[in-house]
Amino acid sequence: MARNQFYYLTIFLTLISCGSKTETIKPEVLPITESVYASGIIKSKNQYQVFPNTSGIIDRFFVSEGDTVKAGQPILKIYNQVQELNKENAELTAYYSSLNSNQGKLDDALMAIGLAYDKMKNDSMLYERQLALKNEGVGVEIEYEQSILNYHNSKNAYYSSKVRYDDLKKQIDFNEAQSKKNVQISSTLANDLTVISKIDGVVYSINKEVGEMVNTQTALAVIGDENEFELEMQVDEEDILKIKTGQQVFITLDSYADKTYEGVVTEIDPMMSQSTSTFTVIAVFKDQPERLFPNMNFEANIIIQTKPDALLIPRNYLIHDSLVIKSNGDTVVVKTGLKDYKKVEILSGISAADEIIKPAK
């Protein structure tokens, strides 16, 4: 500290010896407001970029720039031949897999059950007849055994025909259900070819033209609210800890150069941009200008703290943020408080009665 004092005392004496006129002031008690500067752009509320759900060629637009749209309203259609063919193929498969299309197979299986039942019933009667003859002692053993065999075979055939019918019915029901699902999937994919609006709003821009090839990463348009707008600001990393929701914001816009508007901080993005070392802070107007458009530029001051009576000196009278030179040549350590772009608050080190010198550049 002694070295710093010697250095500034030397400057002071040199100025006097050279006859140069020194600038001096006394601290003043005035109000001060500390704020954080931020710049940014206007965004429509709920503004978003429209992206397609699939790749393809833009077939046609249903809207133009400046049009008002409703949520769910078609914006554009994309042509994708593969998906169109897949949908047609799924519908064709569903038709041939339906219950109605396979009713003939079920009718044949039911007929087979009926025939098998009749044969089983007939073989059962023959078996009972041969059994009765055997019990009377007049039957032929070989015919009796043959009747038993025929009856068991026909009974097995009858139950097998019922199992085959049930299996066929299950298979047809499964194929029908599966083909319907495939139609739903292909229809959903085909519906993805039509891009719809997510919100009620305005089409602010259309970025592509009919015939252009696009994919799911291609921004097609920008849609946002027609009447409500937000202020998207970028705040430096060193200032972000001072920012809180609810803080007052004063805004100036190039389009309304003669006016200052008031806003309030509503949101702070917790993720810092690595490329710019800034945080995104959102504010809204308290009294919104009559006409606004997305991407209009603005500058803002976010109010951090205000004091009605503070001991102030110009910032260019402060050395290294902690020293001032008194008129007698003494270099004094001061403690600072609030700052704006011109003045700084002095908490201790000098008083309103002290005269200080503007340091040489």
Residue 56 near residue 78 (C-beta atoms within 8 A): yes
Total-model pTM: 0.58
Query: Do 136 and 122 lie in a common domain?
Result: yes
> The domain containing residue 234 runs over which residues?
2-45+228-357
DSSP three-state, residue 265: strand
Give the pLDDT score at 5.
Answer: 47
- Tell me how many domains the chain contains: 3
Query: Do 238 and 353 lie in a common domain?
Result: yes
**Of 166, 191, 216, which residue constitutes the final position of a domain?**
191
Residue 313 near residue 356 (C-beta atoms within 8 A): yes
Gap between the Cα atoms of 227 and 230, Å rounded: 10
Q: How far is CA 61 from the centre of its chain?
A: 24
Instruction: Report the CATH number at residue 244.
Output: 2.40.30.170
Give the pLDDT score at 173.
Answer: 87
Give the pLDDT score at 191.
Answer: 63
- What the block records as the tokens of 348 is 């201790």
Mean pLDDT check: name the lowest of 76-85, 136-145, 164-173, 346-355: 76-85
Query: Do 91 and 70 lie in a common domain?
Result: no
Give the pLDDT score at 27.
Answer: 92
Instruction: Report the CATH number at residue 66.
Output: 2.40.50.100
| In the block, residue with structure tokens 């503070």 | 310
What is the number of other CB atoms lying within 10 angstroms of the CB of residue 98?
A: 15
Query: Do 213 and 242 lie in a common domain?
Result: no
**Of 173, 191, 209, which residue constitutes the final position of a domain?**
191
Query: Do 39 and 178 lie in a common domain?
Result: no
Q: How far is CA 141 from the centre of its chain?
A: 87
Gap between the Cα atoms of 305 and 283, Å rounded: 18
Query: Do 181 and 95 lie in a common domain?
Result: yes
| Confidence tier at 85 by pLDDT (50, 70, 90) | low
Give the pLDDT score at 268.
Answer: 96
Under the phi-then-psi rule, with left for phi > 0, alpha for psi from -120 to 50, and beta for the rest, what region is 128? Answer: alpha
CA-CA-CA-CA torsion sign (209, 212, 78, 60): positive
Gap between the Cα atoms of 248 and 256, Å rounded: 19
Query: Do 232 and 353 lie in a common domain?
Result: yes
Query: Do 64 and 39 lie in a common domain?
Result: no
**Of 207, 224, 241, which residue constitutes the final position of a domain?**
224
Query: Do 17 and 101 lie in a common domain?
Result: no
Mean pLDDT of 147-164: 91
Please write the tens of the pLDDT for every residue from 307-342.
899 999 998 999 988 999 998 989 999 999 888 778
Please write the tens of the pLDDT for every residue from 177-235.
888 887 776 666 666 688 999 999 999 999 999 989 888 899 999 999 988 999 999 99
Give the pLDDT score at 261.
Answer: 95
Mean pLDDT check: name the lowest of 3-7, 93-97, 138-142: 3-7
